[in-house]
Amino acid sequence: MLTSIVLAVAAGLLPTCLAQLASTFKYPIGPLTSSSTKWAVKICDVTEYGTPTTDLGPPLLAAFNACKSGGVVSIPSGTYPMSTFVTLSGGSAWAINLEGTIERTGTTASGNMIAIESTTDFEFYSSNGKGAIQGYGYEFLEQGGYGPRLLRLTDVTSFAVHDIALVDSPAFHLVLDTCSQGEVYNMIIRGANQGGLDGIDVWGFQIWIHDVEVTNKDECVTVKSPAQNILVEDIYCNWSGGCAMGSLNAGTNISKIQYSNVYTVNSNQMYMFKSNGGSGFVSDVLLENFIGHKNAYSLYINGYWSSESVQPGEGVLYESIKFSKWTGDCTEGSARAPIYVDCPASAPCTNITLEDIAIWTDEGSEEYYKCVNDIDSHGYCLNSGSTFTPNATVTSTVTAAPSGWSAPYMPSDLSTGFATDSSIPIPTVPNTFFPGATPATARAYKG
């Protein structure tokens, strides 16, 4: 899908939050060539390049080599075991149309089932509503380890990944590594209830991720360094670790990031910034319109994240970050503060703004807010002054539900996560990802 930011802004066609960020997008995002044009140039059907019903890997690689200069690598309806993992490197103006299911059968415990590298004008999508990659990750988890990632894009420009399901990855599901001018949308990701099974990890420039549902027990949609001009909106973290930024370490360089319309249920947090030592900065971040239910943590800046070893440096500087319009509930607000800002003492947070935050506790009749090591900030327990006492904690106890905390639920909320010792069924990509919201881009499959 070609999305010209400049033209869309001029015509008033962009969603509000994208329009707010659009002034910093300098180029169109998404593929430069339409799917129909690519189909007209050349079709490379994997069934004509070997025996994909035995092992998809070699036929997929051969079909790519035949279509890498323009065309569509077609994976028709059906089931395709994949024991040979492939790296598809180079090429331009091409696509993978996945109409069937790819099932991992290879036993290599590392790497990526499908890696796309150093390409431009690329699309990976399903047009029949049934395209999926099934990783059978439980087979690795039962042995106490992890396996390959399902899909990784590295150094890919002007791209889109959409209308597919990624299921039960043995490791991360989708990684966007140093990519730019891309779009990810209309997807569902289902992983097991265990850490280390990230939904979407992204770092790069000018990327729009929207209308995605993630189930796992680790990162939902997470920005890593370096990153600039990333928009994430209409995200459904349905029994997950929740969205995050990090973990961050030495040389962090992240700016102009926006998350809007994020719904999080039964997760570790609604949003967490994660670092422990390190250096560099995170700046110009907007986190708005968040709804949460039954999450352990809610709003969390953690400059001493104990799951990460201490990194070289005096601490990552968090500056000019705004949290706005957060509603819902947390599991136990007296044990885990729904507002928790714990910044590095040697690099205090600067210009943090909290406004319209209304999270109430499911258990008990009170909760508390906690802020440490911040300056020139505004709202709740934050420090509006320009000086601070290192590691001095400011807390406030709340004994009545804040006004406006009640928030809607999604009808598909899961009541439990998926097991680590059995296969996860392939779901259908949903038609909504945030209460009351219609996807920004219609499903490719209209049935």
pLDDT at 24 over 90: no
pLDDT at 17 over 70: no
Identify the band that residue 358 occupies on the pLDDT scale cut at 50, 70 and 90: very high
What's the confidence (pLDDT) of residue 121? 98
Q: Give the pLDDT confidence score for residue 11 in this predicted structure.
A: 35
- Sketch out the chain's domains with CATH numbers: 1-217 (2.160.20.10), 249-409 (2.160.20.10)
Mean local confidence (pLDDT), 379-397: 97
pLDDT of 206 higher than 90: yes
Rounded to two decimals, what is the model's pTM? 0.95
Q: Is the pLDDT of residue 81 over 80?
A: yes
pLDDT higher than threshold 60 for residue 36? yes
pLDDT for residue 44 is more than 80: yes
Q: What is the pLDDT of residue 20?
A: 53
The angle subtended at Cα 205 by Cα 41 and Cα 8, nearest 5°, is 65
Could you tell me the pLDDT band of residue 10, with boundaries at 50, 70 and 90? very low
| HEC readout, the chain | CCECHHHHHHHCCCCHHHHHHHCCCCCCECCCCCHHHHHHHCEEEHHHCCCCCCCCHHHHHHHHHHHCCCEEEEECCCEEEECCCEEEECCEEEEEEECCEEEECCCCCCCEEEEEEEEEEEEEECCCCCCEEECCCHHHHCCCCCCCEEEEEEEEEEEEEECCEEECCCCCCEEEEEEEEEEEEEEEEECCCCCCCCCEEEEEEEEEEEEEEEECCCEEEEEEEEEEEEEEEEEEEECCCEEEEEEECCCEEEEEEEEEEEEEECCCCCEEEEEEECCEEEEEEEEEEEEEEEECCCEEEECECCCCCCECCCCCEEEEEEEEEEEEEECCCCCCCCEEEECCCCCCEEEEEEEEEEEEECCCCCEEEEEECEECCECCCCCCCCCCCCCCEEEEEECCCCCCCCCCCCCCCCCCCCCCCCCCCCCCCCCCCCCCCCCCCCCCCCC
How many Å apart are CA 292 and CA 259, to the nearest integer?
Answer: 14
Cα 185 to Cα 146: distance, rounded to the nearest angstrom: 26
Percentage with pLDDT > 90 across the chain: 92
- The predicted-structure confidence for 315-324, as pLDDT tens digits, reads as follows 999 999 999 9
Residue 82 has pLDDT above 70, yes or no: yes
Per-residue model confidence as pLDDT tens digits over 147-202: 999 999 999 999 999 999 999 999 999 999 999 999 999 999 999 999 999 999 99
Q: What is the tens place of the pLDDT at every residue in 269-320? A: 999 999 999 999 999 999 999 999 999 999 999 999 999 999 999 999 999 9
Contact criterion met (CB below 8 Å) for 375 and 388: yes
- Element housing 280 (H / E): strand 280-295
Show the tokens assigned to 272.
């967490």
| Residues designated as active site | 218, 293
Residue-wise pLDDT tens digits, 360-382 = 999 999 999 999 999 999 999 99
Percentage of the residues of the chain whose pLDDT score is greater than 70: 94
Whether 14 has a pLDDT exceeding 90, the answer reads no
Quote the pLDDT of residue 21.
Answer: 57
Mean pLDDT computed over every residue of the chain? 94
Report whether pLDDT(235) > 60: yes
53-61: average pLDDT: 98
Q: What is the pLDDT of residue 27?
A: 75
Confidence of residue 28 (pLDDT cuts 50, 70, 90): confident
